[in-house]
């Protein structure tokens, strides 16, 4: 029988990911991720975190801040294969007590089908729409 | 017969992508990309570009700068499925005339197997390892 904590679709895994993020629930967050050496998490402007232990430490650090966040996803873009699903989402992040959302974050979320359902294997998030630093126009990249 | 411009593996497509980038060759760059509405390109700190025409305009803008770049890829990380391949690479970018490389960029590159070979469908690049802007520690995300 499928573990009811597992996710039948990439969309279910994505919902669980953002719910765990909003609740700052580290165990729920890590149930979304594959328990694998090949998972990768890149927080905005952060170093790449590779492997489940590094990914867990990254979330523990963020959740330790105790800041209440609410996510709205916009412009959800999906490409699905038989065992990999690639989503690009625009995260609009509301911080409790702030009148306006933060500047948006673009996130690439990749899910992999495992025996027990879809798990996250990649979260690459980066700020967008701010002036590019250090470089004159036109940009190099 | 396979078009010799097409790529038998995701690795070949990736090599062609960075070669076209270094040569500022827009036609070669666009031959790497799928000719599809679902392609997505996010340059560092840039807005998401969706669809092949927007992606082309983004590259044209960058190449118009005429700056000579050389890429070295580090920490190449790959997850392959039957028709999708996800690579995370650290781009070390040398600008001609500068003594040291720029701060590194993390890129998620996704390739899709089409009838004529592997094509890029997503390039999401973002700066890393700089101080996080706007936020005190610990980070929100």
**What are the angstrom distances between the C-alpha of A37 and each of A34, A59, A90, B10?**
9, 16, 27, 21
3-state secondary structure of A122: strand
Mean pLDDT, residues B88-101? 95
pLDDT band at B129 (very low <50, low <70, confident <90, very high): confident
Least confident of A108-112, A131-135, B30-34, B114-118: A131-135
> Which residues 55-114 on chain A approach chain B with CB closer than 8 angstroms?
61-62, 64-65, 67, 69, 75, 77, 79, 81-84, 86, 88, 90-91, 93, 95, 102, 105-106, 108, 110, 112
**What are the angstrom distances between the C-alpha of B104 and each of A82, A87, B59?**
33, 24, 19
**What are the angstrom distances between the C-alpha of B34 and each of B49, B111, B120?**
14, 9, 6
pLDDT of residue B121: 98
Cβ-based contacts of A43 with chain B (< 8 Å): 139, 141
DSSP state of A140: -
Q: Decide: B73 and A115 in contact? Cβ < 8 Å.
A: no
Length of chain B: 141
pLDDT of residue A137: 55
| pLDDT exceeds cutoff 80 at B37 | yes
Q: What is the strand order of the sheet B40-42 is part of?
A: B49-50, B40-42, B117-127, B105-114, B84-95, B69-80
Average pLDDT along chain B: 91
Cβ-based contacts of A55 with chain B (< 8 Å): none
| pLDDT exceeds cutoff 80 at B13 | yes
C-alpha R_g of chain B? 16
| pLDDT exceeds cutoff 80 at A130 | no
pLDDT of residue A128: 87
pLDDT of residue B46: 93
* Per-residue pLDDT tens over the stretch A37-86: 999 999 999 999 999 999 999 999 999 998 999 999 999 999 999 999 99
Nearest chain A CA: its distance from B3 CA (Å): 24
Least confident of A11-15, A64-68, A116-120, B130-134: B130-134
Tokens (6 digits) for A75: 């412009």
- Euclidean distance between the first and the last CA atom of chain B, given in angstroms as a whole number: 48
Q: From the list B61, B81, B138, which residue is nearest A84 (CB)?
A: B81
Ordered by where they begin, the domains of chain A are: 10-118 (3.10.450.50)
- The candidate with the shortest Cα–Cα distance to B45, out of A40, A140, A73, A18, is A140
């Amino acid at each position: 029988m499928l573990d009811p904590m597992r996710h039948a679709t990439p969309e279910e895994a994505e919902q669980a990911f953002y719910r765990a993020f909003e609740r700052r629930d580290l165990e729920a967050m890590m149930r979304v991720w594959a328990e694998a050496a090949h998972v990768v998490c890149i927080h905005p402007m952060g170093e790449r975190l590779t492997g489940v232990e590094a990914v867990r430490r990254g979330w523990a650090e963020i959740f330790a801040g105790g800041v209440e966040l609410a996510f709205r996803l916009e412009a959800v873009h999906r490409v699905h294969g038989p065992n990999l699903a690639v989503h690009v989402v625009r995260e609009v992040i509301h911080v409790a007590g702030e009148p306006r959302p933060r500047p948006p974050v673009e996130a690439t979320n990749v899910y992999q089908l495992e025996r027990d359902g879809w798990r996250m294997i990649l979260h690459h998030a980066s700020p967008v729409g701010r002036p590019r630093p250090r470089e004159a126009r036109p940009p190099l990249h």
